[in-house]
């Protein structure tokens, strides 16, 4: 089934929850309100005409630096300086967060993409991990790296970083850590020679007999 027809079925089902559709994109994507994402996913999975039995991927997005349509250039993210110091900035990020769901149907061999946009200060989306088991770890990873909280998730722990990690590293305003639990993460100034020059060696070796000077020349 074409993506246009799938979106028409979806819009008929969830009504105002369907916010828009981009059929020109490489992956046709439908924008869905965060409150309607569970209904939309349940419909797409259970309806015979859609039959999306697999969630291929779930991604978190930081739209900081992009305009309303998701176009534009990304902002400069913070890193380490050449001397290994963590960079700092006064800029306050204000972009929205997003979650993208890539669906696939083994029965009908068609794909569809859903997209959810939430404000940055909210950063909370209902979970769908009771629909597809795959979403469990994907949502944990999105929470770990982007910091999007999935309401109703049974086990929302960090996926890649340790529990004691501070911040969410793939946010645009993430500042690089100086150290973490006594593990140094900053660099060092390579202009400084870490090996101080050795004192000039005594040309008279200790084993040489007294009076035996090295040959001049």
Partner 1 sequence: MSYKESTTPPDGYDVGRENMLDFKIDEQFEMLEQSDAKNFILTTVDEVFNWAKLSSIWPVTFGLACCAIEMIAASATRYDIDRFGAGAFRATPRQADLMIVSGTVTAKMARRLKLIYDQMPEPKWVMAMGSCAIGGGPYFKYGYHVVKGVDYMVPVDIYVPGCPPRPEVLLEGLMRLQDKIRGRQGKMVTPKWVQDYAKKIPYQK
Residues that bind partner 1 (CB under 8 A): 77, 79-80, 84, 161-162, 169, 174, 176-177, 180-181, 183-188, 190, 205-208, 214-217
Instruction: Report helix, strand or coil for 173.
Output: coil
Quick one: 152 or 184, whose CB is closer to partner 1?
A: 184
Closest approach of partner 1 to the CB of residue 171, in Å? 11
Quick one: 137 or 190, whose CB is closer to partner 1?
A: 190
- Cβ neighbours around 146 below 10 Å, total: 21
In angstroms, the CA 201 to CA 217 distance is: 18
Burial class (CB in 10 A: 0-12, 13-18, 19+), 61: buried
Quick one: 78 or 100, whose CB is closer to partner 1?
A: 78
Closest approach of partner 1 to the CB of residue 40, in Å? 34
Closest approach of partner 1 to the CB of residue 15, in Å? 42
Closest approach of partner 1 to the CB of residue 173, in Å? 13
Contact 68, 152 (CB under 8 A): no
**In angstroms, what CA-CA distances link 68 with 20, 57, 64, 72, 183?**
13, 24, 10, 9, 40
Quick one: 26 or 199, whose CB is closer to partner 1?
A: 199
């Amino acid at each position: 089934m074409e993506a246009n027809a799938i979106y028409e079925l979806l819009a008929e089902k969830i009504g105002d929850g369907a916010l828009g559709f981009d059929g020109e994109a490489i992956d046709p994507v439908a924008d869905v309100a965060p409150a309607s994402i569970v209904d939309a996913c349940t419909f797409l999975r259970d309806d015979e005409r859609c039959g999306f039995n697999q969630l291929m991927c779930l991604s978190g997005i930081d739209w900081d630096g992009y305009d309303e349509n998701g176009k534009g250039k990304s902002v400069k993210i913070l890193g380490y300086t050449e001397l290994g110091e963590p960079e700092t900035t006064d800029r306050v990020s204000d972009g929205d967060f997003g979650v993208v769901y890539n669906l696939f149907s083994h029965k009908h061999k068609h794909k569809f993409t859903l997209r959810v946009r939430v404000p940055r200060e909210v950063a909370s989306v209902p979970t769908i991990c009771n629909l597809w088991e795959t979403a469990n770890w994907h949502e944990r990873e999105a929470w770990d790296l982007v910091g999007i909280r999935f309401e109703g998730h049974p086990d929302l722990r960090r996926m890649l970083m340790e529990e004691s990690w501070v911040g969410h590293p793939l946010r645009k305003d993430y500042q690089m850590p100086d150290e973490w639990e006594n593990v140094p993460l900053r660099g060092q100034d390579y202009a400084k020679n870490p090996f101080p020059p050795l004192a000039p060696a005594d040309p008279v070796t200790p084993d040489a007999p007294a009076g035996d000077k090295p040959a001049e020349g």
